[in-house]
Amino acid sequence: MKLSYFVIPLALGLAACSSQQSQKDDWHGHKGHPHMKKDFQAMREQHFAMMDQDGDGQVSRTEYMQFHVDHFQAMDHDNDGQLTLDDMKPPRK
């Protein structure tokens, strides 16, 4: 299983999201839209809380890796160790 194909882009995304902003009105490349900024911040905090399994306010490497391994396994509906676009479709209601 090529877990690095999944984990590395997520790590880069989290690093980009957590970097400080250079301009007051610019967040993640989008100017304006304060409601989107609040939604993004709430999603980021929720994602962090899900990774912080022991609730200490920090995400260890072990917690980070386990969260993403569990997430990968949950999306791999046919349990073949690989993700396809079919695996990533939202569940039907």
| Amino acid of residue 14 | L
How far apart (Å, rounded) are the C-alpha atoms in residues 75 and 77?
6
**Residues 76, 83: contact at Cβ < 8 Å?**
yes
Does pLDDT of 85 surpass 50? yes
| pLDDT bracket for residue 41 (50, 70, 90) | confident
How far apart (Å, rounded) are the C-alpha atoms in residues 24 and 53?
32
| pLDDT bracket for residue 20 (50, 70, 90) | very low
How far apart (Å, rounded) are the C-alpha atoms in residues 62 and 68?
10
Joined tokens for residue 20: 């400080």
| pLDDT bracket for residue 39 (50, 70, 90) | confident
In this prediction the pTM is 0.54
Spatial CB neighbours of 3, under 8 Å, sequence gap ≥ 6: 68, 69, 72
